[in-house]
């Protein structure tokens, strides 16, 4: 997969009306009525427009807001931020660096032990790639983020062996 993540006319034309409203018109989807707010599967969240890797499930947490929330992006260069003064308040908007897709906002009320940030994202701006599909979809370089999960997916149960007797157990019978 190319690491040249950008917006193309074809990619924008493939968006659903909701995805287009969110990513291209700076919209917001309803809380608790979106695809990923309660997703607990291990994997990578990528920009719906360009495929750029943005967030990892290892940094996702339940913020209680009804939107998928993350403590940080997978790479600081994956997102850009700007001041948003819509809705009569000052917020920090988050956009994908490659395609300039509107993703959501970042707030300073996240878990303190993880840096204090809450990247509150719109599911409509994201596509989820499960860990099992990372290699097939060209995101194998991110597999290390999920090392314990990958180990669980690839480990097989060890073959059972017959119990062995120690000399003292055998002699006691």
Q: Which residues are catalytic?
A: 120
In this structure, what token pair is assigned to residue 154? 């690839």
Contact by Cβ (8 Å): 126, 133: no
């Amino acid at each position: 997969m190319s690491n040249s993540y950008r917006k193309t006319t074809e990619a924008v034309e493939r968006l659903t009306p909701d995805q287009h409203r969110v990513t291209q018109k700076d919209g917001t989807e309803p809380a608790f009525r979106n695809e990923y707010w309660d997703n607990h599967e291990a994997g990578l969240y990528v920009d719906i427009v360009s495929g750029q890797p943005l967030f990892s499930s290892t940094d996702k947490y339940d913020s209680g807001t009804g939107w998928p929330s993350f403590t940080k992006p997978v790479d600081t260069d994956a997102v850009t931020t700007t001041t948003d003064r819509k809705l009569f308040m000052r917020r920090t908007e988050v956009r994908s660096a490659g395609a300039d897709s509107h993703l959501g906002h970042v707030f300073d009320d996240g878990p303190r032990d993880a840096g204090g940030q809450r990247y509150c994202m719109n599911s409509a701006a994201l596509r989820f790639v499960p860990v099992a599909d990372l290699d097939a979809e060209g995101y194998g370089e991110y597999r290390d983020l999920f090392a314990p999960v990958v180990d669980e997916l690839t480990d097989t149960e060890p073959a059972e062996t017959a119990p062995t007797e120690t000399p003292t157990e055998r002699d006691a019978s």
